[in-house]
């Protein structure tokens, strides 16, 4: 089994998720919007950017703080990487696995599917998986606005972006 991926527990429960979104552009353009650091920084890694392109066998840094270990890249089809899971103080570090799939649709658009797996089955793992599910869903919405219309949805939208910091925890701003 790959590092960062856990086998299902006896009760069949694992912490994982999958989100999908349709981007109304050809697969090559959508794929490039993820692997190209300049484009990715225009809608996702807007604070601190991305240190380099997602190339198989490399490690890049997102937001000037998050190492992304690129395990597999199939042009216009698949990106697989590992990155650090959020842990509580004193908890041993570990990585989760992210898989992004790109599928050209008959209408000329692209379906992007993002799945993340490998959290520890504890309260912190559950919280982190929920936060990342929200984050990847938001990433897809931001990608759609950026790739289709040239709009950066993150600008002035997220409380962390307004403060000029990377979101590290969900916060109540009500």
pLDDT in tens, 62-96: 999 999 999 999 999 999 999 999 999 999 999 99
Q: Which domains does the chain possess?
A: 16-152 (3.30.530.20)
Alpha carbon distance 20, 115 (integer Å): 9
- pLDDT for 164: 73
| H or E element in which residue 124 lies | helix 123-149
- pLDDT for 156: 77
| H or E element in which residue 143 lies | helix 123-149
Classify the phi-psi angles of 12: left when phi > 0, otherwise alpha if psi is within -120 to 50, otherwise beta. Answer: left
Residue among 105, 156, 121, 129 nearest 12 (CA): 121
Among residues of the chain, what percentage have pLDDT more than 70? 86
- pLDDT for 13: 58
pLDDT at 4 over 80: no
Residues contacting residue 163 through CB under 8 Å, at least 6 positions apart: none
pLDDT at 17 over 70: yes
Cα–Cα separations (whole angstroms), residue 125 to 69, 142, 152 = 20, 25, 30
pTM of the model: 0.87
Alpha carbon distance 118, 14 (integer Å): 8
- pLDDT for 168: 62
């Amino acid at each position: 089994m790959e590092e960062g991926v856990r086998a299902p527990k006896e009760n069949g429960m694992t912490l994982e998720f999958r989100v999908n979104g349709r981007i109304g552009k050809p697969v090559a353009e959508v794929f490039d919007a993820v692997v190209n650091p300049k484009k990715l920084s225009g809608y996702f890694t807007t604070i601190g950017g991305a240190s380099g392109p997602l190339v198989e066998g490399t490690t890049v840094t997102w937001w000037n703080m998050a190492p992304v270990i690129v395990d597999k890249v199939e042009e216009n089809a698949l990106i697989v990487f590992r990155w650090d899971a959020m842990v509580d103080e004193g908890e041993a570090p570990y990585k989760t696995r992210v898989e992004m799939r790109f599928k050209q649709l008959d209408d000329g658009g692209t379906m992007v599917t993002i799945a993340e797996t490998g959290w520890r089955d504890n309260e912190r793992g559950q919280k982190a998986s929920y936060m990342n599910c929200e984050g990847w869903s938001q990433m897809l919405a931001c990608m759609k606005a950026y790739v289709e219309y040239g709009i950066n949805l993150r600008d002035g939208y997220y409380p962390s972006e307004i403060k000029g910091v990377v979101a590290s925890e969900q916060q109540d701003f009500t």
